[in-house]
Structure 1
Amino acid sequence: MAADCEAWLNANPVEAEDLSDSFISAEEDNGGSGGTNKNIHNEINGNWLSSSSNNLHEARLKAKAKRRLRKNSSRDSGRGDSLSDNGEVARGTPIAPTSPKSKLLDRKSRMGKGRGLPKKGGAGGKGVWGRSGEVYELVEVDKKDPNFDEDQENCVYETVVPPLDERDFEKTVTPIVQEYFEHGDTNEVAELLADLNLGPMRSEVPSLAVSLALEAKASQRELTSRLLVDLCGSVLSHSDMESSFDKLLRDLPDLVLDTPGAPQLVGQFIARAVSDQILSKSYIEGYKGKVDCEHARAALDRAAVLLKMSLGGLRIDTHWGTGGGQRPVIQLIKEMNLLLKEYILSGDGKEAERCLRDLEVPHFHHEFVYEAIVMVLESRGEKTFKMVLQLLKSLSLSSIITVDQMRRGYERVYMDIDEINIDVPLAYFILEQFVDKSFRMGIIGVKLRDQCPHRNRKRLVSEGDGGVVKFERY
């Protein structure tokens, strides 16, 4: 064996560079001084070796170095220049990695191919259904499959909504009707009701809407009548309407406890429904001689009277009135002037507050303030002066007229005082006194008082009167 290794070493001489990773040369050990410790190759692990054993050991080291070189060269083939783990560029001569574990955990391709993109374009991997935007074709069912069921193949699956019971019906429909009183869109109510499975509670919708409108305002009762007209035919049938009004007549004794005027109001709803042709003309006649309840009889009598008056020219579609902002501006101004004149004659501030609240135009209250101050300027009477101040004070304390609306009303008078002064020569002087008194009573603030216009004018009172204007008395 030793002879064979010796022959192989003679044919393939080993250079010192090939064994640099396994042996430390004498020069490296002694800091570059040559000639000393030349027999270090003859001692391994404290044992002296013969020349033949030394040659055998060198042969083994050379074989190990060649195997390592062959392994690194095959790994780096096709890369050209490569980077070691230490960041050094290796050209031709492989450099053993300092951390073999990092190579094992590296997910990059060992072959040096690819552009670093995810495999299969991101469509592969665990829990991935496929590439985004990819549309799969319908899978044909194999009829020879032992799990194939012909009856199940022709099934059509639909979403089933259970019908509403009485308790869920009130909780679901009541918010819809109350929201309708705010926006007034009948189409939205029809869509919401169509999405519900009303079932046998379908005929309860009109009676619930009317019972809620009994405690509401006149404008909301008008909206309820319009809602019944729009729902009839699309969501509800005529038979549903008749059964709903029958229920209202039966429930009148209970409705009167909360709304004393319920019989008259229900009678107006019945007359309006007959006029709008959602109830038959013979609906009222069908109850003649069959009603024992006093409240139901009063409601039917009220409906019959209104229908007879309609034959004489009365329009039943306007008996609820027009609510709030739907009224023309000219009509609102006329009603505010009538309200002020009635208040000056009667002196009932509570009735004036109620009438102003029933107009349902809180955004237009600045017109009421404007008309009240103009009435004071034109009347030039001490009674009107004091009564209007007292009314504005009460409306301000009750927050029926907000601070913003009050301010806008005074500012409008400031802007039009020049035109008012043409008809009322004392307009500037009376306005100054009215504004100063309003500030003292807490109706307006300092800023609004200081904005009051002033004008140099001729002396309109004698010096003996002390500068006091004499108001005309009624």
Structure 2
Amino acid sequence: GHMRVLGEVGGHMGGWGCEKLLHEARLKAKAKRRLRRASSRDSTRESLSEGAEPGPEPGSPKGRAHDRRSRTGKGRGLPKKGGAGGKGVWGAPGVVYGYQEPDARDPNYDEVAQGDTVYATVVPELEEGELEKNVQPMVLEYFEHGDTSEVMELLRGLNLGSRGHAVPSLAVALALEGKASHRELTSRLLSDLVGRVVTPEDIAWAFDKMLRDLPDLILDTPEAPQLLGQFIARAVADHALPLDFLERYKGRVDCEHARAALDRAAVLLRIKRDVNRLDNVWGVGGGQRPVKHLVKEMNLLLREYLLSGEVAEAEHCLRELEVPHFHHELVYEAVVMVLEGSGEEPVAKMVTLLKVLWETGLVTLDQMNRGFQRVYEELGDISLDVPLAHGLLERLVELCFDRGVITRALRDACPARGRKRFVSEGDGGRVKQ
């Protein structure tokens, strides 16, 4: 390749500096080599994918030069998926366009009406399909890493333009299909993006659209109205949605699903007016929340269960926490609650709950053992506050064993009353008085 190029160039060196021409020739040769490499890559890919029709012989004039396919090495020259689009065309039939920013290149653009001129680096605004292609993987990765600042950086690199609402829409749609932890992360993302990448009105627009889409969303996610209501309540509480968001719908909603979603949001906002900004609306644990918070949630769940006696509800709440590795805490809390409570009823009730959690496999053997062993270890301290703790524990353990909740070994490990026990390991082995 070099020689020919140099030959061509050498022909008209005229008064030019030799250096410059040589340099240009080298660049040209390099570009040609690169093209050749790209195109050979392309042709192998094509021959693999289309295998049927043989390409022209290398020597024939219908070689690469007259080939009308793209030479950039991208695509196989097929039309774009979905068709209808591209610059300067009308677009697909039936598409309704929202408000468009005034465009300085528009012949009717009136500069005087626009205020001060500000020069900025322009990234072209993303088209609908592009947007989804860019944003969806971004959200799914965020579900893995949980870092909102990374998402913000990436979004700033794109020009969302008038499509700011697409990000909350996509994130919430993906979260509806995902787990409780994804919903928690999505609520967090919305509140972090507001004022930085999107406005509360963008988010309002997104929820507006999703409320209208509920009849479709329900097909995949039957509980979509309740979940959407919870998203709305949390977003209002986090100031990610305008405070009057619910007011705007007063008396204007015909769709029963949308009404269900808005009612759910209104109820949550009423109840939780004072409770830490609806932070626990998703009841999510996992690695994201401190142990202290989980302990509080489990405690609450047990107390509610003792009041209502609804095993299924307690089981549901425990699953929602998504911390199977931490279920020994529930066992521990349950036993301690019985010891610190009074009367017969809590004992029987807790055994019933533990039996169900054990049989459904929510609490594994080692989690059950760990929970009870922790109580055994701390019995000395518990007895200081609850003098009768020993007798209660023995009764509870006996009952659990009878109902098949714990193993014989665990029952036998229960500390007996008669022994003199040390206060605890750290106090030099003084015997308890």
The secondary structure found in structure 2 opposite 1:320 is: coil
Question: Aligned partners of 1:232 and 1:336: how far apart in 2?
Answer: 32
The secondary structure found in structure 2 opposite 1:142 is: helix
Mapped pair 1:207 → 2:157: no
Residues 340-394 of structure 1 deviation map (CA, whole Å, 9 limit, x = unaligned) = 3443444322122122333444444323212322344455755443332232122
Q: Specify whether residues 433 and 316 from structure 1 end up closer, same or farther in structure 2 by C-alpha distance, changes over 3 A only.
A: closer
> Corresponding residue for 1:435?
397
Mapped pair 1:142 → 2:104: no
Question: Aligned partners of 2:265 and 2:309: how far apart in 1?
Answer: 36
* 1:119-138 matched pairs, under 5 angstroms: none
Identity over the aligned pairs, expressed in percent?
56
> Corresponding residue for 1:390?
352
CA contact (8 A) 1:210 1:224 kept: yes
> Which amino acid in 1 is paired with 2:301?
L
CA contact (8 A) 1:378 1:424 kept: yes
Question: Aligned partners of 2:237 and 2:278: how far apart in 1?
Answer: 8
> Corresponding residue for 1:71?
none
CA contact (8 A) 2:200 2:241 kept: yes
Question: Aligned partners of 2:207 and 2:19: how far apart in 1?
Answer: 56
Question: Aligned partners of 2:340 and 2:243: how far apart in 1?
Answer: 54
Residues 16-52 of structure 1 deviation map (CA, whole Å, 9 limit, x = unaligned) = xxxxxxxxxxxxxxxxxxxxxxxxxxxxxxxxxxxxx
Cα displacement (A) at 1:209: 1.3
* 1:126-205 matched pairs, under 5 angstroms: 141-142=20-21, 166=129, 169=132, 173-174=135-136, 176-191=138-153, 203-205=165-167
Question: Aligned partners of 2:322 and 2:297: how far apart in 1?
Answer: 12
> Corresponding residue for 2:383?
421
> Corresponding residue for 1:339?
301
> Which amino acid in 1 is paired with 2:285?
G
> Corresponding residue for 1:366?
328
Cα displacement (A) at 1:454: 2.6
Q: How many residues align?
A: 315
Question: Aligned partners of 2:369 and 2:210: how far apart in 1?
Answer: 47
TM-score with structure 1 setting the length: 0.50
Mapped pair 1:320 → 2:199: no
> Corresponding residue for 2:101?
none
Question: Aligned partners of 1:307 and 1:423: how far apart in 2?
Answer: 39
Out of 158-167 and 365-374, give the one that drifted further.
158-167
- Structure 2 unaligned blocks of 5 or more: 1-17, 32-71, 81-125, 421-433
**Alignment RMSD (CA, Å):** 5.2
The secondary structure found in structure 2 opposite 1:443 is: coil
* 1:82-121 matched pairs, under 5 angstroms: none
Mapped pair 1:231 → 2:193: yes
CA contact (8 A) 1:166 1:201 kept: no
Question: Aligned partners of 1:144 and 1:329: how far apart in 2?
Answer: 66
> Which amino acid in 2 is paired with 1:224?
T
Residues 180-210 of structure 1 deviation map (CA, whole Å, 9 limit, x = unaligned) = 3454211233455567898998643311211
The secondary structure found in structure 1 opposite 2:318 is: helix
Mapped pair 1:451 → 2:420: no
Cα displacement (A) at 1:324: 2.2
> Corresponding residue for 2:315?
353
TM-score with structure 2 setting the length: 0.53
Question: Aligned partners of 1:387 and 1:270: how far apart in 2?
Answer: 36
> Corresponding residue for 1:256?
218
Cα displacement (A) at 1:290: 7.5
Question: Aligned partners of 1:216 and 1:323: how far apart in 2?
Answer: 13
Question: Aligned partners of 1:385 and 1:289: how far apart in 2?
Answer: 49
Question: Aligned partners of 1:238 and 1:384: how far apart in 2?
Answer: 47
Question: Aligned partners of 1:252 and 1:146: how far apart in 2?
Answer: 63
> Which amino acid in 1 is paired with 2:371?
G
Question: Aligned partners of 1:194 and 1:324: how far apart in 2?
Answer: 30
Question: Aligned partners of 1:181 and 1:410: how far apart in 2?
Answer: 35
Question: Aligned partners of 1:438 and 1:449: how far apart in 2?
Answer: 8
CA contact (8 A) 1:337 1:371 kept: yes
> Corresponding residue for 2:361?
399
The secondary structure found in structure 1 opposite 2:21 is: coil
Q: Specify whether residues 227 and 365 from structure 1 end up closer, same or farther in structure 2 by C-alpha distance, changes over 3 A only.
A: same
Q: Specify whether residues 421 and 265 from structure 1 end up closer, same or farther in structure 2 by C-alpha distance, changes over 3 A only.
A: closer
CA contact (8 A) 1:169 1:201 kept: no
Question: Aligned partners of 1:309 and 1:250: how far apart in 2?
Answer: 26
CA contact (8 A) 1:221 1:320 kept: no
CA contact (8 A) 2:201 2:242 kept: no
Q: Specify whether residues 178 and 439 from structure 1 end up closer, same or farther in structure 2 by C-alpha distance, changes over 3 A only.
A: farther
Cα displacement (A) at 1:438: 3.5
> Which amino acid in 2 is paired with 1:320?
V
CA contact (8 A) 1:263 1:295 kept: yes
Residues 81-104 of structure 1 deviation map (CA, whole Å, 9 limit, x = unaligned) = xxxxxxxxxxxxxxxxxxxxxxxx
Q: Specify whether residues 398 and 284 from structure 1 end up closer, same or farther in structure 2 by C-alpha distance, changes over 3 A only.
A: closer
> Which amino acid in 2 is paired with 1:348?
E
CA contact (8 A) 1:369 1:406 kept: yes
Cα displacement (A) at 1:227: 0.9
Question: Aligned partners of 2:267 and 2:409: how far apart in 1?
Answer: 57
Cα displacement (A) at 1:443: 3.1
Cα displacement (A) at 1:395: 0.8
Question: Aligned partners of 2:337 and 2:212: how far apart in 1?
Answer: 51
Q: Specify whether residues 328 and 148 from structure 1 end up closer, same or farther in structure 2 by C-alpha distance, changes over 3 A only.
A: closer
